[in-house]
Amino acid sequence: MYLKRIEIQGFKSFANKIVFDFHNGITGIVGPNGSGKSNVSDAVRWVLGEQSAKQLRGGNMQDVIFAGTELRKPLGFAYVAITMDNSDHKLDIDFEEITVSRRLFRSGESEYMINGSACRLKDISELFFDTGIGKDGYSIIGQGQVDKILNGKPEERRELFDEAAGITKFKRRKGLALKKLESERESLIRVNDIITELE
Ligand code: ATP
């Protein structure tokens, strides 16, 4: 599995639609300061569901929408799509190629899609569980993040190893099962109360 394509339109400094095609290997993006290199990795983080404007170096989420320049009006929406080559089926979905997209309008309305079908953010997060890809995945290491990892709490570092070991999804499922068990336990207490009342 590898990142095959990024399509960006109206996101941060990319007013016009731009398509980056990557190949299976190392790609470097170079350019002068402020030319938008970090905006490319922000776009990937954003499409994977980043909800924190601060992580994207903005004040609020609408700041990711192209804000205009002296020569160009602001745009009304931001759009990012990433395409993953899944010919090795590392992602648990029956497609050789997977495109995940996110669109945000100034009104706050937003939509996520997987291969052209509307989906929830949860579906995108689950798709990438245990792959290291994701808004918090270790496949995107932002500026200052290495220091944060090294100085982080042991539990925070543990999350990184859990993801690499492929057990995040099991931990999540265990959490959901425990929650369900707790709610069943409460229902059982209520049922027993009713039985006692009736006796
Ligand atoms: P450096 O090498 O200094 O880290 P960089 O190449 O990584 O720089 P970025 O930080 O990706 O550059 O891009 C910064 C540019 O993006 C700035 O010129 C900023 O004005 C522009 N920018 C950010 N958000 C928006 C927006 N919503 N609309 C228009 N331009 C934006």
CATH number for the domain spanning 23: value is 3.40.50.300
Q: What is the pLDDT of residues 31-62, one digit of tens each?
A: 999 999 999 999 999 999 999 898 888 999 99
Q: Is residue 195 part of a domain?
A: no
Name the residue of 9, 14, 38 to mutate for ligand 1: max ligand atoms within 8 A of Cβ. Answer: 38
Q: What is the DSSP letter of 14?
A: B
d(CA 171, CA 173): 5
Q: Is residue 187 part of a domain?
A: no
> Ligand 1 mean position to 38 CA, how many Å?
7
63 lines ligand 1 (CB under 6 A): yes
29 lines ligand 1 (CB under 6 A): no
Q: What are 111's strand-pairing partners?
A: 103
In this prediction, residue 142 has a pLDDT band, given cuts at 50, 70 and 90, of confident
Q: ipTM strictly over 0.90?
A: yes
Looking at the structure of the chain, the number of domains it has is 1
12 lines ligand 1 (CB under 6 A): yes
Q: Is residue 116 part of a domain?
A: yes
> Ligand 1 mean position to 69 CA, how many Å?
12
DSSP string, 27-76: -----STTSSHHHHHHHHHHHTT---TGGGTSSSGGGGB----SSSPPPS
74 is in an annotated binding site: no
36 lines ligand 1 (CB under 6 A): yes
Q: Is residue 22 part of a domain?
A: yes
Q: What range defines the domain where residue 113 resides?
A: 2-144
Phi, psi of 122 (to 5 degrees): -55, -40
Q: Is residue 152 part of a domain?
A: no
Q: Is residue 65 part of a domain?
A: yes
143 lines ligand 1 (CB under 6 A): no
- Say if residue 197's pLDDT is above 90: yes
The ligand 1 atom at the shortest distance from the C-alpha of residue 66 is 28
In this prediction, residue 162 has a pLDDT band, given cuts at 50, 70 and 90, of confident
Mean pLDDT of 161-176: 88
Assess contact for 86 and 94: CB atoms under 8 A: no
pTM of whole model > 0.80? yes
In this prediction, residue 133 has a pLDDT band, given cuts at 50, 70 and 90, of confident
Q: Is residue 111 part of a domain?
A: yes
Q: Is residue 158 part of a domain?
A: no
